[in-house]
Amino acid sequence: MQIGRDNERLIIILKNPTNQKLRASVVLGVCLQPEYSSYDKNGIRVFKNIPETEINLGTHELHPHTVQGLKGIFQAG
């Protein structure tokens, strides 16, 4: 996801190349970059203990030989 905008956009493509129906449960683990006020002289930043947020996009059934796109718009912050 791109940082610095009001909305974060993400597109996930699910593909079923098999001859049977498939179910896909989609959960994203997202760690947003924390704010920082200064750089060190080498330009290296180390972040520890960044909290992860889980976003559940649900379970999706895919028919044989199909492709499905999931589009999400998430509020930043």
pLDDT, one tens digit per residue, over 20-72 is 999 999 998 887 777 776 666 677 777 778 888 888 889 999 999 999 988 76
| Domain locations along the chain | 7-75
54 sits in the region (left: phi over 0; alpha: psi -120 to 50; else beta) called: beta
Do residues 71 and 60 lie in contact, with contact meaning Cβ atoms separated by under 8 Å? Answer: no
> Is the model's pTM score more than 0.85?
no
pLDDT, one tens digit per residue, over 2-32 is 455 555 677 889 999 999 999 999 998 887 7
